[in-house]
Amino acid sequence: MNFKKFETDEELVGFVLQHTDLFAADAELVVSEIGDGNINFVYRVSDQHGLSVIVKQALPYVRIIGEGWPLSQDRIRIEAEALQIAGKYCPDLAPEVYRFDQQLCAIVMEDIGSHENLRHLLIERRELPLLGNHLGRFLAQTAFYTSDFYLDSYEKKDQVSGFTNPDLCKITEDLFFLDPYCDHERNSINDHIRIEAEALWTDSALKFEVAKLKAKFLGQPQALLHADLHSGSVFANAIGTKVIDPEFAFCGPIAFDVGSIIGNLLLNYAGQSALEGDVLQRSAYQKWLLETIKTLWATFEIQFTTLIEEQGCEPTLSQTEYVDWFMAEIFTDSLGYAGTEMIRRSIGLSHVADLESIENAEARAGAERLSLEVAQHLIKYRSSFTDMASVCDWISSNYKL
Ligand code: SR1
Ligand code: MG
C-alpha cells in the first residue's frame, strides 16, 4: 500500500483540491487539526469565506498510543462505506462523504461544524428536544435496511464479508467484555472505588451474563452496526443530529448500538450526581436524560416494526409473533450492553469526560459507584424489565439527588 501521512498543510490542501471542486480558484485554504478522538487524525480545511471540509486519515496504528498498537487501515474504507449507507437511509443524520482515497487512507467529508460534540453538550446540561427521536430513527433505519428483514440472503452475506473488521472488533471484545471483569493492566481504577471494582472480578453471576452478551457480539450478525455509538460519536444542536465515526462498523447484534448510546446517556446521569452546579438543575437534567432514553427506545421500536410491516422482504421473519419476540430480545440485550458500556467507561481503559471532569476524586468515586451499580443491575436483571418506563422509574427512584 502506497500510504503517506499528511505531513504539511500544503500536502493536505493539495489533497483536498485534487479531490473536491467545492473551493473557488482563489480560495485561501487554512488547515487546523481538530481530532480529539483516540484513533485517527482529523483536520478541517477552510477558505476565507467560511466554506470548509473535514479530512480524516487513518494511520496504521492507534493515534493516542502510537506504533505500539498497530491497527488495520481497512477501517477507513469501512468507515467511508458505513457513512454512505447511513447517508442513503437517513441523509440528515450523517455527514456526506465527498471522496474516499484508498491509497492515502483518507476521507474528505462534509463539515458538520454547526453541530457540537454531544458529550460536551450533555456535560453542559443542554436539553436537545429532538435528540431521542433522531437517535431512535438513526438506529431503526440503519438496522432495518442492513438486516435480514430487508436484504436478500446473498446481499446480506456480501455485507457481512465486506464489513469484516477484526482489529476494531477485537478492541471492543477486550475493552468491553474482558478487561473490566479481571485485574487487567489496561484498566484505570479510581482508588476510592477499588473495592467495588474488585468485587466485579469475583461476581460469577455478573460474569455469566457478560459472557452471554459477548457471545452475541461475536456471533450474531443481525445488521450493520455503527459499533462505537458513544456520545462522542454524535454531534448535535437544537434542531439537528449527526452520527459520525463508524470505523468500528461490522455486522453484529442490533442491541449493541442501542445499548451503547443508552449507556452513554446513563453515564452522564451518573456524572450529574457529582458534577458542579445547582442541585435542582442537575436533577432536572437527569429527568431529561431519562425522558430522552424513553423517546429513543419508543422511536426505534415503532419505526423498526413499521419498516418490517411495510418493507419486510423475508416472510418467515415477518410473522407478528417472531417480530414481537425479536423486539423483546433487542430491548433486553440493549439494557445489558448499556451496562457493559457503563462499566468499561468507569473502570476500564477508556474513560469519559462525563465522569473524568469531576475533579475531586472522592466526588468522582460517588458518580462512578452509581454508574457501576446501575450497570450491574441492568446486566444481571435485564430480563426482569419489560418496558423502558419501568427501567427509568427504577433508576430515578433509586438514584435521585
Ligand atoms: C484504543 S480505542 C479506545 C476506545 O476509543 C474508541 O472510540 C472506542 O470506543 C474504543 O473502545
Ligand atoms: Mg471514534
Q: Which atom of ligand 1 is nearest to the CA of 69?
A: 1
Q: Give the distance from CA 42 to its chain's centroid.
A: 18
Q: What percent of the chain has pLDDT over 90?
A: 93
Task: Tell me: do 128 and 96 sit in the same domain.
Answer: no
Q: Which of 72, 165, 175, 341 to probe ligand 1 with, by most ligand atoms within 8 A of CB? A: 175
Average pLDDT over residues 18-43: 90
| C-beta of 61 in contact with ligand 1 (< 6 A) | no
| C-beta of 255 in contact with ligand 1 (< 6 A) | no
Task: Tell me: do 206 and 253 sit in the same domain.
Answer: yes
Q: How far apart are CA 263 and CA 246, in angstroms?
A: 18
Task: Tell me: do 84 and 124 sit in the same domain.
Answer: no
Q: Which of 171, 177, 186, 356 to probe ligand 1 with, by most ligand atoms within 8 A of CB? A: 171
Which residue's C-alpha comes closest to atom 1 of ligand 1? 38
| C-beta of 220 in contact with ligand 1 (< 6 A) | no
Q: What is the CATH number of the domain that holds 299?
A: 3.90.1200.10
Q: Centre a 10 Å sphere on the Cβ of residue 398 and count the other Cβ atoms it contains.
A: 11
Task: Tell me: do 78 and 191 sit in the same domain.
Answer: no
124 CA to middle of ligand 1, Å?
Answer: 23
Cβ atoms of 55 and 45 closer than 8 Å = yes
Which residue's C-alpha comes closest to atom 2 of ligand 1? 38
What pLDDT is recorded for position 195?
A: 98
- Of 61, 88, 110, the one marking the end of a domain is 110
How many domains does the chain contain in total? Answer: 2
- The CA-atom distances, in angstroms, between 335 and each of 166, 261, 277, 288 are 25, 11, 29, 19
Task: Tell me: do 193 and 288 sit in the same domain.
Answer: yes
390 in a domain, yes or no? yes
2 in a domain, yes or no? no
DSSP string, 309-320: HHH---TTTTSH
227: left (phi over 0), alpha (psi -120 to 50) or beta: left
Q: What DSSP element (H or E) covers 116?
A: strand 116-117
As beta bridge partners, residue 56 has: 42, 107
59 in a domain, yes or no? yes
Which residue's C-alpha comes closest to atom 8 of ligand 1? 228
Q: How far apart are CA 229 and CA 330, in angstroms?
A: 16
Task: Tell me: do 358 and 394 sit in the same domain.
Answer: yes
Domain that holds residue 129: 116-398
Average pLDDT over residues 356-377: 98
SS3 (DSSP) at 172: helix
Amino acid letter, residue 71: L
Using alpha carbons, select from 114, 116, 115, 78 the residue that is nearest to residue 97: 78
How would residue 73 be classed by pLDDT, with cut points 50, 70 and 90?
A: very high
Q: What is the CATH number of the domain that holds 100?
A: 3.30.200.20
- Of 56, 82, 110, the one marking the end of a domain is 110
In the Cβ-directed half-sphere of 312, how many Cα atoms lie within 13 Å?
A: 17
123 in a domain, yes or no? yes
What pLDDT is recorded for position 2?
A: 60
243 CA to middle of ligand 1, Å?
Answer: 16
60 in a domain, yes or no? yes
36 CA to middle of ligand 2, Å?
Answer: 9
What pLDDT is recorded for position 295?
A: 99
Q: What is the DSSP letter of 385?
A: -
What pLDDT is recorded for position 69?
A: 86
Average pLDDT over residues 39-66: 92
pLDDT tens digits for range 249-299 = 999 999 999 999 999 999 999 999 999 999 999 999 999 999 999 999 999
pTM for the complete prediction?
Answer: 0.97
Which residue's C-alpha comes closest to atom 4 of ligand 1? 350
Which residue's C-alpha comes closest to atom 3 of ligand 1? 350
Residues within 5 Å of ion ligand 2, judged at the Cβ atom: 37, 245
Q: Is 92 exposed, middle or buried (0-12, 13-18, 19+ CB in 10 A)?
A: exposed
**Helical residues (DSSP H) of 146-239, grouped into ranges:** 153-162, 166-177, 194-201, 204-219
55 CA to middle of ligand 1, Å?
Answer: 20
Beta strands in 208-348 (DSSP E): 223-225, 234-236, 241-243, 250-252
What pLDDT is recorded for position 37?
A: 76
Q: Which atom of ligand 1 is nearest to the CA of 37?
A: 7
1 in a domain, yes or no? no
Q: Which atom of ligand 1 is nearest to the CA of 232?
A: 7
Which residue's C-alpha comes closest to atom 11 of ligand 1? 172
Looking at the predicted complex, does its ipTM rise above 0.95?
yes
Amino acid letter, residue 63: R
What pLDDT is recorded for position 67?
A: 87
324 in a domain, yes or no? yes
Average pLDDT over residues 177-206: 98
| C-beta of 173 in contact with ligand 1 (< 6 A) | no
| C-beta of 175 in contact with ligand 1 (< 6 A) | yes
DSSP string, 10-73: HHHHHHHHHH---S-TT---EEEE---SSS-EEEEEE-TTS-EEEEEE--SEETTTEEEEE--T
Q: How far apart are CA 397 and CA 3, in angstroms?
A: 54
Task: Tell me: do 95 and 187 sit in the same domain.
Answer: no
190, pLDDT greater than 80: yes
64 CA to middle of ligand 2, Å?
Answer: 12
| C-beta of 62 in contact with ligand 1 (< 6 A) | yes
Task: Tell me: do 59 and 140 sit in the same domain.
Answer: no
Task: Tell me: do 289 and 388 sit in the same domain.
Answer: yes
Considering the chain, what is the average pLDDT of its residues?
A: 96
Q: Which atom of ligand 1 is nearest to the CA of 245?
A: 7
Sheet holding 234-236, edge to edge: 116-117, 234-236, 241-243
Q: What DSSP element (H or E) covers 117?
A: strand 116-117
62 CA to middle of ligand 1, Å?
Answer: 9
DSSP string, 60-110: SEETTTEEEEE--THHHHHHHHHHHHHHHH-GGGSPPEEEEETTTTEEEEE
Task: Tell me: do 27 and 138 sit in the same domain.
Answer: no
What pLDDT is recorded for position 374?
A: 98
Task: Tell me: do 42 and 134 sit in the same domain.
Answer: no
119 CA to middle of ligand 2, Å?
Answer: 13
Task: Tell me: do 102 and 121 sit in the same domain.
Answer: no
Ligand nearest to the CA of residue 173, numbered in listed order: 1
| C-beta of 196 in contact with ligand 1 (< 6 A) | no
SS3 (DSSP) at 151: coil
What pLDDT is recorded for position 165?
A: 98
36, pLDDT greater than 80: no
Quickly tell me which residue has 461544524 as its cell.
Answer: 113
- Of 78, 110, 142, the one marking the end of a domain is 110
1, pLDDT greater than 70: no
